[in-house]
Amino acid sequence: MVTIHRRTDKLPVGALLASVGGFLDAYTLTRHGVFANLQSGNVVLFCVQVTSRHWHAAALRLVPVGAFIIGVLAVELLGTPRAVTIVRRPIRLVLTTEIALLTMLATLPGNAPAPVTTVTVAFVAALQFSTFTTLRGEPYATLMTTGNLRQCVVAVHQWLTRGDRRSARRAQLYGVIVGAFSLGALVGVICTRRFGEPAIAVAAGLLVGVLALLIRETRQVERAGGGEPVNT
């Protein structure tokens, strides 16, 4: 049985997840002036505040980092043998949790404290980052473009210099993911400027689409009599 740590996504799922990643980054930057998906910025700012002896400000930078760590640990726990016997559909649990938290953020008033949003998004991002890591057997990330863009450029180079068909397929794969992330960011900026706090419901809606695709995929495998490829 394939566990939560040994599964591979299909392209439509990966593209939707990448668009969510781009949307969340654009949302938190436009709304609150920060990138809340990944924690490199918070770690650097923590070090800046510490060297300036701004202890309270430094401590605040650790809150979203802590939320991200908790999210990563939650996915790790879902991947243990004991958890598999208790939670039959861990992927659905992760997605449902993400959807619920983002929907909650969409209902907050416009004057809600920024840390409520950034900490929640950091936790949601950790769940997604740790759960969805492989696309058609290739490593990828749904919350950032750096690694995906590098893989795309390398694959294009190998395709053009060697005529390698597998590299051409990899280039196309990563190109779609980079494009989806960029489109999600574009939509995120537009929606956030127009609708404010409730705009994050769009990301929740995209995750509902991911959940629907995974449920359909599992049912198709079950009807084919091949067993489940993963506990989704």
Residue with tokens 């490829």: 229
> Which tokens go with 101?
């938290």
The two beta strands, 138-139 and 134-135, are: antiparallel
Between CA 218 and CA 96 the distance in angstroms is 16
Return the C-alpha torsion angle 52, 53, 56, 57, nearest 10.
10
With b for 16 or more beta-carbon neighbours within 10 A and e for fewer, the 106-118 pattern comes to: beeeeeeeebebb
Q: Give me the pLDDT at residue 1, please.
A: 46
Neighbouring C-beta atoms of residue 62, cutoff 10 Å: 15
The DSSP element (H or E) to which 146 belongs, if any, is helix 146-162
> Which tokens go with 41?
């910025």
Q: Give me the pLDDT at residue 222, please.
A: 76
pLDDT under 70: residue ranges of the chain:
1-3, 5-6, 226-231
Neighbouring C-beta atoms of residue 82, cutoff 10 Å: 8
User: Tens digits of per-residue pLDDT, 173-200?
Assistant: 999 999 999 999 999 999 999 999 999 9
pTM of the model: 0.91
CA distances from 53 to 47, 62, 65, 66, 110 (A): 10, 15, 19, 21, 32
> Which tokens go with 8?
């591979």
Between CA 94 and CA 232 the distance in angstroms is 10
User: Tens digits of per-residue pLDDT, 132-184?
Assistant: 999 999 999 999 999 999 999 999 999 999 988 999 999 999 999 999 999 99
- Contact present, 198 and 36 (Cβ < 8 Å): no
